[in-house]
Structures are given as C-alpha cells and as structure tokens.
Amino acid sequence: MANTNTNITSLLTEDQTPIVYYTSPIYPPIPLNINDLYVITTIGDRLDLLSQKYYNSTQYYWIISNANPDRINQGSLFLTPGIQIRIPQNLSQILDIFTSFNQTVI
C-alpha cells in the first residue's frame, strides 16, 4: 500500500555517515477512465469521506482532489455543495502510477 504522506530517503555522505530525510510525495495526474463515476456534492461532503465511501479508505482523498483540479480547492478537504466531481474507479492503476512516481533510486 502506498504511503501518501511522506517518503523516507537516506543517503550516505563521503565518510559513510547516513543522512535520513523526508521527501514530499509526487501526485500523478489522474487519467480519465470510462468507468469513472460522476457525483454532485452535497452539504457535508468532504474528500476524506468520499474516499472512504468509494475506496474504503480515507487516505486516497488526493485521488479525487487531483481528478478535479478545476473544481476542488487543493488546500482543503471540504467541497462546495452542488458541484459535479469525478470519482476515478481505476484505483489500482492510479496507485501503481503513484508508486512509480515516488520510487527512490539510489
């Protein structure tokens, strides 16, 4: 399962001292899919709650957010009621792309 919060990376200095640091994840664009769902938001809808409803996990809120960059405030979990948003249905493909974007090559 992909960690959507941070990646831990380590490097060795010239004297072989390890340096451990965190990197921000890279979120991929979300491709259109014929099976995507389209829903109209209602009062109380939030990205994490929709993620739980459609993906059985709150951690994939970023997929819904990235699938709707022109409709969703990227800095908030809250949604404006009455807007149509896309809920991608190809979760495993999206997570594979996310993993490939965030693999650390040393």
Q: Say if 30 falls within a structural domain.
A: yes
- What tokens were used for 85? 């948003």
Per-residue pLDDT tens digits for 51-90: 999 999 999 999 999 999 999 988 899 999 999 999 999 9
Q: Say if 1 falls within a structural domain.
A: no
Q: How far is CA 9 from CA 21, 22, 49, 90, in A?
A: 5, 6, 31, 28
For 55, the domain range is 7-101
Here the CATH number for the domain that contains residue 20 is 3.10.350.10
Mean pLDDT, rounded, of the chain: 87
Total of domains in the chain: 1
Q: What is the pLDDT of residue 3?
A: 42
Q: Say if 106 falls within a structural domain.
A: no
Indicate if the pLDDT at residue 105 is higher than 70. no
Q: Say if 64 falls within a structural domain.
A: yes
